[in-house]
């Protein structure tokens, strides 16, 4: 039987409190989230779910048939985060309710603090999905990953070898400063695409589509907390959903960028460059200099609107980076971390002046202003 209703996967996340400091989300918060998700499954609002954490961020992975930006789904996520924040406050956890920047829900969690990646599609015969969730970095940290997966044949052989991918991919790129976006095709417009997405301070990828039929291939969160709150309130630790196989990049092509690490902005106080460290769920905790920025990668399959589950009804979730194949990247990442930390607060270890405008640094310099004398 072919499942005719479109399936939506929603990954909605927020930092609602952590222990100790900004390191990780403790069990009691995950349990509150589980209870809310379970109840929503029983009422039929969602079809299946998986709750996990990326460092201090609580992640709600849900499947349903209500489409993207659905008010009921977003309200469920908001109410779940509010309940978790209450629990965090009762335990006096650190940063309780940190990312919940509005007093009341108003239709869509976008612009209220939480990060959202959603993808709606007609199910194929079999639908593998890769879920990325990062801590201590920003949405444009995924720019390089998306380029490697969908536009670089040295990473994704399928761009050359699979006739279904010869058409290339179309990238929807957001200019976060000007709040406008542009669609660019690779390989046809690759250099223009790279000119934008290489500028990670300003441009971030929202969606990726296969060019010939505009089949949705990837969806990314693009929250800018500083723009919402008007001041630094933590990094916009991002999430991303990537569909795999059968005319889209394979699971192995999606993960192979992490044979080596690369540098992303964030880390301590959202103010430093650091290596993107791929880790399994057991190491989903930002311990060293509040990092290094960590990346979780989970593999699932979607069938008939649900996460494929075992006989007990528990979703089968494969912890991709919990594997020796990524040991080399981890070792190289820690070598990069060690070099960068030797620079202390000096650039280039610290972010550029432009990026620092969105941190707490300007407040430290206010008193110096009147002491400067004209040269
Ligand atoms: C980065 C982050 C942490 C904090 C740092 C200071 O996204 O969350 O690195 O910026 O631990 O935190 P406060 O100001 O809460 O003491
Ligand atoms: Mg935090
Ligand atoms: Mg975080």
**Which ligand 1 atom minimizes the distance to the CA of 234?**
7
Of 121, 139, 137, nearest to 129 by C-alpha is 121
DSSP string, 80-140: HHHHHHHHHHHTT-BTTTTT---SS--S-STTSS-EEEEEEE---SSEEEEEEEEESB-GG
Answer whether residue 72 shows pLDDT above 70.
yes
Of 335, 326, 303, nearest to 316 by C-alpha is 303
Answer whether residue 206 shows pLDDT above 60.
yes
- Are 112 and 171 within 8 A, CB to CB? no
Q: What is the pLDDT of residues 235-255, one digit of tens each?
A: 689 999 999 999 999 999 999
**Residue-wise burial string across 335-344, b where 16 or more C-beta atoms lie within 10 A, e elsewhere:** ebbeebbeee
Token code pair at residue 184: 């660019």
What gap in Å lies between CA 167 and CA 47, rounded to an integer? 34
Per the annotation, the verdict on 374 as an active-site residue is no
* Percent of the chain with pLDDT strictly greater than 90: 87
Report the nearest-CA residue for atom 8 of ligand 1: 234
What gap in Å lies between CA 89 and CA 100, rounded to an integer? 13
Report the nearest-CA residue for atom 10 of ligand 1: 269
Regarding the beta carbon of 294 and ligand 1, being less than 6 Å apart is answered no
Strands 127-135 and 277-278: unpaired
For residues 102-118, average pLDDT: 90
Catalytic residue among 49, 50, 203, 232: 232
Q: Which of 22, 93, 288 to mutate to test the pocket of ligand 1 (most atoms within 8 A of CB)?
A: 22
**Which ligand 1 atom minimizes the distance to the CA of 291?**
9
Spacing, Cα 24 to ligand 3 middle (Å): 8
CA 337 to chain centre: 21
Answer whether residue 2 shows pLDDT above 60.
no
pLDDT at residue number 90: 98
For residues 80-101, average pLDDT: 96
Under the banding of pLDDT at 50, 70 and 90, the label for residue 3 is low
Q: Which of 1-10, 195-204, 316-325 has the lowest mean pLDDT?
A: 1-10
Residue 56 phi/psi, 5-degree rounding, is -90, 10
pLDDT at residue number 111: 81
Sequence-ordered list of residues with C-beta below 8 angstroms from that of 192, at least 6 positions apart, any chain? 184
pLDDT at residue number 257: 96
For residues 20-45, average pLDDT: 98
pLDDT at residue number 110: 85
Answer whether residue 209 shows pLDDT above 90.
yes
**Which ligand 1 atom minimizes the distance to the CA of 22?**
8
Q: Which of 21, 88, 134, 135 to mutate to test the pocket of ligand 1 (most atoms within 8 A of CB)?
A: 21
pLDDT at residue number 137: 96
Per the annotation, the verdict on 15 as an active-site residue is yes
Per DSSP, the three-state class of 237 is: coil
Answer whether residue 1 shows pLDDT above 60.
no
pLDDT at residue number 358: 80
The end-to-end CA distance of the chain, in Å, is 78
Of 117, 114, 272, 143, nearest to 202 by C-alpha is 143
Average pLDDT score, the chain: 95
Q: What is the pLDDT of residues 271-305, one digit of tens each?
A: 999 999 999 999 999 999 999 999 999 999 999 99
What gap in Å lies between CA 260 and CA 136, rounded to an integer? 19
- Are 205 and 124 within 8 A, CB to CB? no
**Which ligand 1 atom minimizes the distance to the CA of 360?**
14
pTM of the model: 0.96
Per the annotation, the verdict on 235 as an active-site residue is yes
Catalytic residue among 13, 66, 87, 235: 235
Regarding the beta carbon of 272 and ligand 1, being less than 6 Å apart is answered no
Report the nearest-CA residue for atom 3 of ligand 1: 269
Per DSSP, the three-state class of 300 is: strand
For 24-28, the CB contacts below 8 A with 24+ separation are 24/53, 24/55, 24/56, 24/284, 24/285, 24/286, 25/53, 25/55, 25/56, 25/57, 25/58, 26/91, 26/93, 28/87, 28/91
Report the nearest-CA residue for atom 2 of ligand 1: 269
């Amino acid at each position: 039987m072919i499942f005719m209703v479109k399936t939506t996967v929603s990954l909605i996340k927020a930092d609602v409190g952590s222990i100790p400091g900004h390191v990780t989300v403790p069990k009691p918060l995950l349990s509150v989230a589980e209870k809310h998700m379970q109840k929503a499954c029983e009422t039929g609002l969602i079809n299946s779910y998986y709750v996990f954490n990326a460092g201090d961020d609580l992640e709600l992975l849900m499947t349903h048939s209500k489409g993207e930006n659905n008010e009921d789904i977003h309200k469920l996520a908001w109410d779940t985060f509010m309940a978790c924040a209450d629990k965090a406050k009762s335990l006096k956890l650190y940063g309780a309710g940190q990312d919940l920047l509005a007093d009341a829900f108003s239709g869509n969690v976008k612009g209220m603090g939480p990060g959202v990646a959603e993808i709606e599609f007609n199910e194929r015969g079999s639908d593998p999905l890769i879920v990325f969730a990062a801590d201590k970095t920003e949405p444009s940290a995924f720019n390089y990953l998306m380029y490697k997966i969908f536009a670089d044949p040295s990473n994704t052989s399928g761009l050359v070898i699979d006739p279904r991918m010869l058409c290339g991919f179309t990238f929807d790129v957001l200019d976060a400063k000007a709040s406008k976006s542009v669609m660019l095709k690779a390989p046809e417009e690759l250099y223009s695409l790279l000119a934008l997405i290489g500028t990670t301070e300003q441009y971030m990828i929202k969606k990726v589509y296969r060019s010939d039929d505009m089949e949705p291939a990837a969806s990314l969160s693009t929250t800018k907390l500083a723009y919402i709150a008007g001041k630094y309130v933590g990094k916009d630790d991002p999430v991303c959903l990537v569909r795999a196989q059968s005319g889209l990049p394979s699971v192995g092509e999606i993960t192979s960028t992490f044979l080596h690490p690369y540098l992303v902005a964030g880390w301590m106080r959202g103010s430093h460059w650091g290596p993107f460290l791929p880790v399994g769920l057991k190491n989903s905790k930002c311990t060293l200099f509040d990092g290094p920025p960590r990346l979780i990668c989970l593999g699932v399959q979607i069938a008939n609107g649900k996460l494929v589950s075992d006989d007990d009804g528990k979703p089968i979730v494969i912890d991709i980076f919990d594997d020796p194949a990524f040991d080399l990247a981890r070792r190289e990442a820690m070598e990069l971390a060690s070099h960068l930390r030797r620079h202390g607060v000096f650039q280039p270890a610290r972010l550029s002046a432009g990026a620092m405008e969105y941190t707490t640094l300007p407040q430290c310099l206010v008193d110096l202003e009147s002491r400067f004398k004209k040269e």
